[in-house]
Structure 1
Amino acid sequence: MTAIPSVVQLAYGDLPEGWDIQKLKFFATIRTSNVDKTVSDDEIPVELCNYTDVYYNDRIVPSMEFMRGSATAAEIRKFRLQFGQVIITKDSEGWDDIGIPALVTEDMPGVLCGYHLAIFDPTNKLDGNYLSWLCRSAPLNNQFKTAANGVTRFGLGQHAMKNAYIALPPIKTQRRIAAFLDEKTARIDALIEKKRALLDRLAEKRQALITQTVTKGLDAGVQMKPSGLNWLGEIPEHWNVRRLRFFMACRTINGLYKPKEQFDNSGVPFIQMGEAFRSESFQGGTEDRVLATEDEVKQWGLHEGDFLIARRSLVFDGSGKSVRIESISEPHLFESSMIRLRIKNPEKYSRFLSYYFQSQVGRAFFLAITKQVTISGIDSQQLKNIPTLLPPAKEAHDISNFLMDAERRFGEIVQRIETSVVRLKEYRSALITTVVNGESLPN
């Protein structure tokens, strides 16, 4: 018998009596799928269980919506889904996404395992549900991750999967462990979902508070008047409606296009779309720097109180998103998918406008001028004509301070909830590993 590597022994620890450590290939048939998404007229129509179906689901069930595809008769015999199989992700852009499993709950002869996945077909000595939990446990999952090869894309070969070591208790114990983990993790997952739902409700409450405050003000007893715009409704009597160009200190300007040869670590920070819209304010932190002339920095540089507006987006809701530039320690440039908006008297109105742009009303005005073609986009000329509210400068300042305080309170609550979600996930992972290692067996 081949000696078990010490790193594997250490990972599994001291197993209970009657348990063993064995190579997976002795207890499961392992196949990697070559069924692609191409539909051919000379093949048989099928449905495909693809990478995302496995990645986002613990179980593969018949009620799922699968992609339409085609396959040969030989492929159908080899890769059709059957009860008790475990499908894992074998290819990924990140090594940490390798070996994620999903259990097949029923025979599905018309559904095939798609490309970038592998099928584990257990023998009668290995329970499929137990195997799916094994794949989530650190000792086995880490073997998959470390065996994956690649730089920009990682792949797990059949040899590594077949020769991975598993903890193997008696079959009755396997089933008891699987049933226990089904129940316990379902409770944990339900609690995580409740916390995520609470985060969604907090986000809705935050949005509602911003919208109410920037359109109605802080004084509940103030006299109101019609705004003349359906989306705005009534506004405080002493407020005015102005086009956005009223606030502008200069014309809008689209960002710079910089070719690859001008990217240089000694250059000026260059803000990309994903970096700009991580939150509603930008305080620095870019991955890229570019070579730039003094004139380019002068023309496209950013000041505190400026706004960057998403000029185009792959998704409709992303168009017109805004971010306010906070204090930054050095000049920054921005890429061509964004528009810079510079405000007169930013100390008076920039923060108020930031909240107005985030409000439901502000977003509605931005989306109303978005052109939907292949990529959603905004015309900077139309941007200047977006209706904007103008309260007195002191009131705008008070509203901004009120919302900043509310943001801090929301942020503290959100942070506590997100921390508890992380801890629940860590507990879930630790529980799986502890139980499948036999350290804490269910009664």
Structure 2
Amino acid sequence: MSHYKPYPVYKDSGVEWLGQVPGHWAVSPLKYVVTFRSGGTPSKDKQEFWDGDIPWASAKDLKKEQLEDTQDHLTELAVTSGAASLVPAGSVLVVVRGMILARIFPVAEAMVPMAINQDLKALHASSKLDGRFLAHLLRGLADESLCRLEEAGHGTKALRMEAWTSMQLTIPPSEEQCAILSHLDRETVRIDALVEKKARFIELLREKRQALITHAVTKGFDPNVKMKDSGVEWLGEVPEHWAVCKLSFRYSVELGKMLDEKKLTKTSLVPYLRNQDVQWGAINIQNLPEMDIHPAEIERYTVMDGDLMVCEGGDVGRAAIWRGESSVFGYQKALHRLRPRLQNTDTAEFFFFSLLTAKKRGVFEESDSKATIAHLPAEKFRQYRFAFPPKREQREIADHVRIESDSLDVLLTKTARSIALLKERRSALITAAVTGQIDLREAT
């Protein structure tokens, strides 16, 4: 933002964290320039209050800066009976209580009349403030708002309302607010368009990578190979010389040890992997808990180089390969350990990509409801059918996919970083504009 000029004259705001402000700007506590409206939740037991046409906003809706609709809706009866009330269009909505405050401070403008729940406040600007300027002002001072939190139980955060409503705001003259808004509108629209373009590019890269992987593990890379019907819907046709069989014919599938803290003796403690430690292609080994694994159980409940660890619950089928640790590590019952039955027949690197494709194609979903299975029992897992090329071809396919994926990952990382920088620039611009660090009165 080096091309922006500062104001010619500044004064001390009298607020340590705010510092200098333009000489002709006012400074005022939030509670003196806005009025507040609270919300609530009508009884869930009264169906006549729900699924109407009136938007009812909660924290999950404040993902956009301008809110025209919400996930949940109320009926007219909910409002006329007094179970809910409407805030007018133009209200500035903020989250004052919720787990989301541990990360961000959402601010949105209500574009239509709507009801809000008890975790939100609706702010109405006085004549000194343009409502849209107020929204940008609160976004620009988000870090200061988050400095005024308290614990609200069960990991939830809440604003300390007296401290927050006493937070000092910068108040430019009305015509200057309009100039600032005009410039922010132009710049944020331009930045948002760039972010959207780059986000779409990331989607295309991910689609390209998945298409590469899917083709590799179901068709191979020989365009002239004879094909056959695999007999498995999600596989379709596969090369004629590939085997198609149940997982149990090629891999041993062992579920980890059930953790029983009542029987913990602490005589044979071993760090162990949990479901959350296994992410796609990566395994966490930092700050692992420990469990008793007796010497007689070591072979059954520990991992060795090349084992494929697969999530039994949660994000069913998520997998990663265990690599290189010589120390003894166990694994909990929430994970499957897969090992090729014959080392000269299969390689976990290839089957990792097969699992990724199976997951993307909904193999681990219920055929009726399409709801993800909460758990994948070992016996059920063993019955799934997969395609298996000869081991040499498995290695060639896995190596090719890994090289191509690594190249795409470089682009993905670079693009994601570019998006993060654009978002940082957007936030910094808003903060600088609404606190008077830059003079936008004649900016083009």
- If the length of structure 1 is used for normalisation, what is the TM-score? 0.84
Structure 2 gap ranges (5+): 1-11
Q: Point out the structure with the larger helix share.
A: 1
1:441 is aligned to: 440
1:291 is aligned to: 291
Q: Does residue 238 of structure 2 align to residue 231 of structure 1?
A: no
1:141 is aligned to: 142
Query: What amino acid maps onto 1:441 in structure 2?
Result: L
Q: Does residue 112 of structure 2 align to residue 112 of structure 1?
A: no
Q: Find 1:422's aligned residue among 417, 420, 423.
A: 420
1:344 is aligned to: 341
Alignment of 1:274-289 (within 5 A): 274-277=276-279, 279-282=280-283, 284-289=284-289
d(CA) in 2 for partners of 1:143, 1:31: 21
Q: Find 1:394's aligned residue among 392, 395, 418.
A: 392
Alpha-carbon spacing, 1:222–1:411, altered in 2? closer, same or farther (3 Å): same
Alignment of 1:37-76 (within 5 A): 38-39=43-44, 41=46, 47-54=55-62, 56-61=63-68, 63-68=69-74, 70=78, 76=84
The Cα of 1:27 is off from its aligned counterpart by: 0.8
Between 1:182-191 and 1:337-346, the stretch displaced more is 337-346
Query: What amino acid maps onto 1:290 in structure 2?
Result: E
The Cα of 1:258 is off from its aligned counterpart by: 4.2
Alpha-carbon spacing, 1:361–1:30, altered in 2? closer, same or farther (3 Å): closer
Q: Does residue 185 of structure 2 align to residue 182 of structure 1?
A: yes
Q: Indicate the SS of the match to 1:8.
A: coil
Question: Contact 2:278–2:318 at 8 Å: present in 1 too?
Answer: no
Could you say what the CA RMSD is over the residues aligned between the two structures, in angstroms?
Answer: 3.2
The Cα of 1:20 is off from its aligned counterpart by: 1.6
Q: Indicate the SS of the match to 1:417.
A: helix
Q: Does residue 95 of structure 2 align to residue 89 of structure 1?
A: yes
2:244 is aligned to: 241
Q: Does residue 18 of structure 2 align to residue 9 of structure 1?
A: yes
1:21 is aligned to: 27
Query: What amino acid maps onto 1:291 in structure 2?
Result: M
Between 1:251-260 and 1:328-337, the stretch displaced more is 251-260
d(CA) in 2 for partners of 1:51, 1:258: 38
> What's the CA shift string for 1:78-105, capped at 9, x where partnerless?
x521132211111233644454211122
Alpha-carbon spacing, 1:261–1:47, altered in 2? closer, same or farther (3 Å): farther
The Cα of 1:262 is off from its aligned counterpart by: 5.7
d(CA) in 2 for partners of 1:115, 1:287: 38
Alpha-carbon spacing, 1:329–1:121, altered in 2? closer, same or farther (3 Å): farther
Query: What amino acid maps onto 1:415 in structure 2?
Result: T
Query: What amino acid maps onto 1:8 in structure 2?
Result: W
Question: Contact 1:32–1:158 at 8 Å: present in 2 too?
Answer: no
The percentage of counterpart residues that share the same residue type is 24
1:268 is aligned to: 270
Query: What amino acid maps onto 2:171 in structure 1?
Result: L
Alignment of 1:276-425 (within 5 A): 276-277=278-279, 279-282=280-283, 284-295=284-295, 296-313=297-314, 318-345=315-342, 348-360=346-358, 363-367=361-365, 376-425=374-423
> What's the CA shift string for 1:279-338, capped at 9, x where partnerless?
2243x334441231334544211122222233233xxxx333333222234333333333
Alpha-carbon spacing, 1:25–1:226, altered in 2? closer, same or farther (3 Å): closer
Q: Find 1:432's aligned residue among 430, 433, 436.
A: 430
Structure 1 gap ranges (5+): none
The Cα of 1:67 is off from its aligned counterpart by: 3.6
Question: Contact 1:370–1:377 at 8 Å: present in 2 too?
Answer: no
The Cα of 1:236 is off from its aligned counterpart by: 2.4
The Cα of 1:146 is off from its aligned counterpart by: 1.0
Q: Indicate the SS of the match to 2:375.
A: strand
Alpha-carbon spacing, 1:441–1:269, altered in 2? closer, same or farther (3 Å): farther
Question: Contact 1:100–1:135 at 8 Å: present in 2 too?
Answer: no
Question: Contact 2:366–2:372 at 8 Å: present in 1 too?
Answer: no
- If the length of structure 2 is used for normalisation, what is the TM-score? 0.84
Q: Does residue 175 of structure 2 align to residue 172 of structure 1?
A: yes
The Cα of 1:345 is off from its aligned counterpart by: 4.3
Question: Contact 1:85–1:120 at 8 Å: present in 2 too?
Answer: yes
The Cα of 1:47 is off from its aligned counterpart by: 4.8
The Cα of 1:394 is off from its aligned counterpart by: 1.4
d(CA) in 1 for partners of 2:180, 2:174: 10
> What's the CA shift string for 1:241-270, capped at 9, x where partnerless?
23212222x453244234499699x95333
1:205 is aligned to: 208
d(CA) in 1 for partners of 2:409, 2:61: 33
Question: Contact 1:243–1:386 at 8 Å: present in 2 too?
Answer: yes
d(CA) in 1 for partners of 2:233, 2:220: 18
Q: Indicate the SS of the match to 1:400.
A: helix
Alpha-carbon spacing, 1:242–1:362, altered in 2? closer, same or farther (3 Å): farther
